[in-house]
Structure formats: C-alpha cells, structure tokens
Amino acid sequence: MAEDTAASTESRSWFPAIPQPVKRVFDQFPLVTYPPNAAPARSTGTTGTTDKPDEHRLYIFASPQAARKGRPSVNPQCLKWQAYLKFSGIRFRTIPSNNHASPNGALPFLLPASAGNPGTDDALPVPSNRLQRWADEQAHVDQGEAASMREEVYTSLLDHRIRDAWLYTVYLDSSNFGSIARRAYVEPSTNNSIVRTVLACQLQEAARSQLLRTSTYIDVDDILAEAKNAFEALSVLLGSDSYFFGRAKPGLFDASVFAYVHLILDQKLGWNHNPLATYLDGHDNLLQHHERLFNTYF
C-alpha cells in the first residue's frame, strides 16, 4: 500500500486533516521543498566492505534481516517484482528501504550493477514501471510477446478486486493496522511519536481514498465478496496447469498472484483478522502454485 500512496494520481488529497496541536508545531517552521532524491550511493557495510560493483540491488519494503537473507518483501508490489526478477534468472540483492528514499517516491526500484558508471543511461535507477522491460532485456525475452487481452482482463482482478480487499484488511481493519501496516511502514521510518501518528493517518487516508475512487462509501461486505469471487476465477483459470496461461515457466502474472497469496498466508506478517485466507481454502491449485514458486525461488 505504501507504494500506492506515492504512485496514485487521484485528485483527492492523500493527506488527512492534521490535528491542530501538531499543525501549530509545523507552522513555526518554513515549508521547504527539496529536489528529487539522487540515486543511492554505494555504501560501506557493517563488515567494512563496499557493495560489489557488478551487483544489482532491488530496494524494497523489508526488515534489514529479511533483506539480507533475500526473504519475501512485506509489500505485495515489491514482492511481485522481487519474484519476477527471480523467475527471470536475474541475480540481485535486496535492500531495505522506504518511499522517501526512492528517487521517484515509490518502491520498489532497482539500481543496476552498471550504476557504478556515472554518465551512462545504465546508471539510472529502474522504477517499477520499467522493471519488466529491464528484466526482459537482461533475460533476452522477446519484447514482442505482449500480454494478451485475456491476461489483461484477469490482471484487473488483481489490480482492483484483490487489491481493494488487501487495502481494507491491512489498513482499515483496526485489528490488523497496528500489527501489519504500522509495523511495516510507520515504525521503521521514524522514532518520533508525533511523526508516526501523522504517517499512520496518512496511510489510512490513502487507503480510504483508493477505496472511494469508484464509490461514495466503503462497502466492506461487497469488497470482500468481490475478492472471494476473484480467487475463484483465478483458481478456474489456473486449472491443472503449473503456471498461469499454460506457460512452461512462471511469468509476471504468476508473480502478481504469488505476491498476494504469499502475504495472505504468511502468519508472521501479523494477521489478527484474515478473511482473505479463508477465501483460499478449497483452491488447492492456488495453494500448490504458491508452494511451488516459494520452494523453487525463495
């Protein structure tokens, strides 16, 4: 979700009303607009060694420990691209980060190994909307293999129905917000309690705005029912195949489905109330699809 707050083009403000006591504090300081962040410089690690110059680095939402071990991101958008790069056979290292550290204000982004050579196009960070092309070029995948109309239709199930249910259950369900969203996005960003409160409000307002983009109110029952139907449709689509659309190896759509299913099933994420997990019950092929990808690539 945190990546959605930076990427959205909705006209409605992402920012909730700031409490007056907090506003009075900020009013005492001038507003400063900073230029976009530069690409992260190569850093020196705790062992005193610098990053390898031939190493691709993917910046994602993850704890430092999870990132060091290459574990799945806690964010579905980040995990989607993390999985796709693995499916493409691209070796990379994951770096824990946040939207504020991203050159374009959203995660994930990738810093190619050649970014150590300034002055070239390859030195530029690769944002998420260019990651598929970059990965396909690295893996020598035919760029002419455009997604079929059928695939685009099913992608909308993920981008709308399942994503909406994810936004509600993670950000607006009070039993989950503190244990998942606050822990993953707010607490790692700052130790200041006032700033944490503002960030938490912003995250929830962003989720609320997204869910209200096509409706005047949030119908929880309808959102969850649509997600349930979407998982049923995905199960039928997969059928007895190992990967979606009968492909011999997993593709971007497989990565998208894997990202949501993995995080929904991950009890370590902090779930207190998880209706989405019950919607996967009975869809053994989706569970096997997830297990196959997790055991092979993670």
Segment 227-235 shows an average pLDDT of 98
Containing domain of residue 96, as a range? 2-20+54-139
In a domain, 129, yes or no: yes
CATH of the domain at 60: 3.40.30.10
Contact 91, 24 (CB under 8 A): no
pLDDT at 53: 59
Q: Which pLDDT score is estimated for 32?
A: 47
d(CA 79, CA 108): 9
pTM score: 0.82
**255 falls within a domain:** no
In a domain, 103, yes or no: yes
Distance of alpha carbon 203 from alpha carbon 182, whole angstroms? 9
Res 137 pLDDT > 90: yes
Residue 64 falls within a domain, yes or no? yes
Per the domain annotation, does 120 fall within a domain?
yes
**Is 44 within the bounds of a domain?**
no
Q: Which helix (H) or strand (E) holds 131?
A: helix 131-139
Tokens for 153? Answer: 């239709």
Does any domain span residue 238? no
What's the structural domain count of the chain? 1
pLDDT band of 15, cuts 50, 70, 90: very low
pLDDT band (50, 70, 90) for residue 19: low
Question: Is residue 154 one of the residues assigned to a domain?
Answer: no
